[in-house]
């Protein structure tokens, strides 16, 4: 296959990204990628917000007849907003899911796993679109001839580059998020969604982490947050009392206070005390007995020492080797009950290879009593945190028959040690984990038994 090499495709991609509007940037870039590599077709599939599928985005102008009659039949799994189309591609164990789970490029010969009958004579190349372990989506190429090793490597690099194009341009438009929303959000769910950090996965030299929030039908105020300083990782997982907009507003006040004092350089206990006072004052003015439980932590990346405050919350779990233990922390009052509550920080010393798992009580509530969470954490130890948190959420959904009485939220941190070293990466993902996923994900899910 003849195609451009080296800097020329990169230059054409960057030019396409900057020349187009934010709404058209990804489509313009994928078109440039196709031309650069001699593809007959190229498309981008963005990760569904549910974490259980991909969404194929397309802009298809209406024909004059369609504009006149308004009759535009929908394909299976398709949504439309005038000329914008979003089609869900559910995870089913096929090549799309395997590419996402393994973070490896897949090359499919003609006739194998093609989505359209007219594409059966094409080579299909799937590349993950990832940044710091955050799975953003998938890049799909159709090629008339078998790609050589250099072409496959170039596809992988361009998939990684597309991640930055998506990140840069989705700040300016709702188009990509519209595509990702395969189910409508209530007002409280919208508030809750906006509270979460932009990326839900982060890989750095000394740690990997990922969070996941599985919402109940009546949003119950769960949140998680993290922020990386030069030598410190800040993190929190909180659960506001109640459901709906009131819980979402309490969660907003709590998270905003923690972020505000963190940005001012306040110490951990000062952050917690400030959030407690903000919630108490709000409850006093509103007349509502709102409070928030939570775990708030500060990890020193130079030593592996974690300071953590438990404000009336479920204890975290520590996975060390094959042992899973509950980390017994002094339990202080929830945030917002009394203005003068004193909070205590406890030191947890992590060793390289440790995994710390924070959960909300939705992972342990009455409907989820059939799940042994300690066993689930042990069975998912082989997975990247990104896959582990989704697998744990899937287990809770399985044992509750997809009916959650409370939000179920997980934050998973792997401590690697050796702060200051560079990562060893492959196109946006840590190298060691590019060999582990795919079958391991399903094996880990199947290995957790209900009791």
CA atoms within 13 A on the CB side of 34: 19
Q: Are 40 and 142 in contact (CB under 8 A)?
A: yes
CA distance 226 to 218: 25
Q: H or E stretch including 420?
A: none
Tokens encoding 155:
């596809």
Q: Are 131 and 428 in contact (CB under 8 A)?
A: yes
Q: pLDDT of 111-130, one tens digit each? A: 766 566 567 788 999 999 99
Q: What is the pLDDT of residue 117?
A: 58
What is the SS3 assignment for 322? coil
Q: Are 426 and 435 in contact (CB under 8 A)?
A: no
Q: Above 60 in pLDDT, residue 3?
A: no
CA distance 368 to 216: 13
Residue 333 is classified by DSSP as P
Which residue reads 């308004």 in tokens?
A: 70
Q: Does the reported pTM lie above 0.85? A: yes
Q: What is the pLDDT of residue 118?
A: 60
Q: pLDDT of 9-23, one tens digit each? A: 667 777 888 888 888
Q: pLDDT of 277-323, one tens digit each? A: 999 999 998 877 789 999 999 999 999 999 999 999 999 999 999 99
Q: Are 222 and 278 in contact (CB under 8 A)?
A: no
């Amino acid at each position: 296959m003849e195609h451009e090499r080296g800097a020329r495709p990169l230059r054409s991609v960057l030019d396409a990204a900057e020349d187009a509007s934010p709404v058209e940037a990804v489509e313009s870039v994928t078109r440039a990628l196709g031309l650069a590599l001699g593809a007959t077709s190229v498309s981008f599939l963005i990760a569904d917000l549910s974490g259980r599928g991909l969404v194929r985005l397309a802009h298809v102008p209406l024909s004059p007849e369609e504009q006149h009659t308004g009759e535009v039949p929908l394909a299976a799994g398709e949504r439309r907003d005038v000329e914008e189309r979003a089609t869900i591609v559910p995870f089913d164990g096929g090549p799309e899911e395997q590419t996402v789970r393994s973070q490896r490029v897949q090359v499919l010969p003609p006739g194998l796993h093609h989505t359209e009958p007219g594409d059966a004579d094409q080579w299909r190349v799937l590349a993950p679109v990832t940044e710091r372990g955050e799975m953003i989506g998938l890049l799909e190429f159709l090629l008339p001839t078998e790609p050589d090793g250099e072409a496959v490597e170039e596809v992988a690099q361009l998939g990684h580059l597309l991640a930055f194009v998506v990140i840069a341009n989705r700040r300016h438009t709702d188009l990509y998020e519209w595509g990702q929303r395969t189910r409508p959000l209530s007002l409280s769910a919208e508030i809750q969604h906006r509270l979460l950090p932009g990326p839900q996965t982060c890989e750095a030299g000394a740690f990997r982490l990922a969070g996941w929030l599985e919402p109940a039908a009546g949003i119950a105020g769960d949140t998680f947050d993290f922020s990386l300083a030069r030598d410190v990782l800040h993190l929190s997982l909180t659960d506001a009392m109640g459901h709906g907009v009131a819980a979402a507003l309490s969660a907003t006040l709590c998270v905003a206070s923690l972020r505000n004092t963190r940005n001012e350089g306040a110490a951990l206990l000062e952050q917690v005390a400030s959030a407690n006072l903000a919630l108490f004052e709000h409850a006093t003015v509103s007349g509502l007995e709102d409070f928030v439980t939570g775990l708030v932590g500060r990890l020193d990346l130079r030593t592996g020492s974690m300071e953590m405050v438990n404000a009336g919350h479920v204890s975290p779990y520590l996975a060390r080797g094959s042992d899973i233990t509950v980390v017994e922390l002094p339990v202080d009052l929830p945030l917002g009950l009394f203005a003068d509550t004193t909070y205590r920080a406890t030191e947890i010393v992590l060793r390289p290879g440790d995994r710390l798992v924070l959960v909300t009580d939705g992972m342990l509530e009455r409907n989820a009593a059939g799940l042994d969470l300690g066993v689930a954490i042990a069975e998912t130890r082989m997975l990247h945190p990104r896959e582990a948190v989704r697998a744990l959420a899937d287990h809770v959904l399985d044992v509750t028959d997809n009916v959650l009485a409370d939000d179920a939220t997980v934050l998973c941190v792997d401590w690697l040690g050796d702060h200051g070293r560079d990562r060893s990466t492959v196109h946006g993902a840590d190298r060691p984990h590019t060999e582990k996923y795919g079958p391991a994900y399903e094996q880990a899910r199947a290995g957790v038994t209900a009791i």
